[in-house]
Structures are given as C-alpha cells and as structure tokens.
C-alpha cells in the first residue's frame, strides 16, 4: 500500500513538471511574420502582439527631436511597413539591417514596436 502511494505521488509530480515545461516552451516559441504575411492578415491582426521580420529600408530612418522616438520603414519582398519605436535603440541597428520587431499593428497601418531585435552580422569588420 505504501509503494502504491509513492508511485501515485511520483506520477503526479512528473505530470506537473511536464505540464509546466510544456507551458514554458509554448510561450517562448513565438512565430514571426514577414512583412508581406502581416499585411495579408489585414484588420484581423490589429492590436495583437506580433513579431515581424524584414529589412530596414535605406534612407528611411528618422530620429525624433526628443531623442527616444524612432521612425523607419521595414521592407520585405516589395512590401513596406512603417514602424514607430520609442525607447533605447540597440547599437547594431542601422539602415539595410535585417531586423525582427515586436509590437502591434494599429488601424492606420503603422506598426508600434516596443522591441527591436537587429540581427547581428555573421562577420564583424573593424571600422577603418
């Protein structure tokens, strides 16, 4: 009888650990859209927290006068997406940089980003 209680208790603990591990993995495995995939979603994706991958359009970066507002355009496959970001800009952010942004698309078609994740180049070259 005592071993039966021990086995049942061990099984409950294992199931609880497995369930918590599944929840942790599920929340960390966030899918990201390409710019064209996001625009195809239309109004169904408005105000939902999503990630978008694209490239910063050359010549589109505008730094606000307050210093912490950044506006730029992300492009992918001929589709563009205007982005507004407020916060600290990572050092690796720049024009023609591949980037993943996280935030919400509003009804005006502007992406309000709260996280910028520039992809690091595969090879760093020292500045001349």
Distances (CA, A) of 25 to 17, 18, 31, 90, 93: 12, 11, 12, 27, 28
Of 126 and 105, the one with more pLDDT: 105
Judge whether residue 75 has pLDDT over 90. yes
CA 116-122-127 angle, 5° bins: 85
State the pTM of this model. 0.70
For the chain, give me the number of helices (H) and strands (E)? 2, 7
Tell me, which fold does domain 31-118 have in CATH?
OB fold (Dihydrolipoamide Acetyltransferase, E2P) (2.40.50)
The answer to whether residues 99 and 54 touch, using CB atoms and an 8 Å cutoff, is yes
- Return the structure tokens found at 32: 């990201």
Confidence check: pLDDT of 126 > 80: no
Q: What is the pLDDT of residue 6?
A: 87
């Amino acid at each position: 009888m005592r071993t039966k209680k021990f086995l049942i208790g061990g099984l409950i603990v294992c199931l609880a650990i497995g369930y918590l591990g599944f929840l942790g993995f599920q929340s960390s495995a966030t899918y990201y859209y390409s710019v064209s995939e996001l625009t195809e979603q239309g109004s169904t994706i408005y105000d939902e927290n999503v990630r978008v991958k694209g490239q910063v359009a050359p010549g589109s970066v505008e730094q606000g006068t307050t210093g912490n507002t950044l506006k730029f355009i992300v492009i992918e496959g001929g589709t563009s997406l205007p982005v507004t970001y407020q916060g600290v800009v990572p050092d690796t952010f720049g024009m023609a940089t591949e980037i993943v942004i996280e935030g919400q698309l509003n009804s005006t078609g502007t992406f309000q980003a709260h996280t910028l994740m520039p992809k690091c180049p595969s090879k760093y070259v020292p500045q001349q």
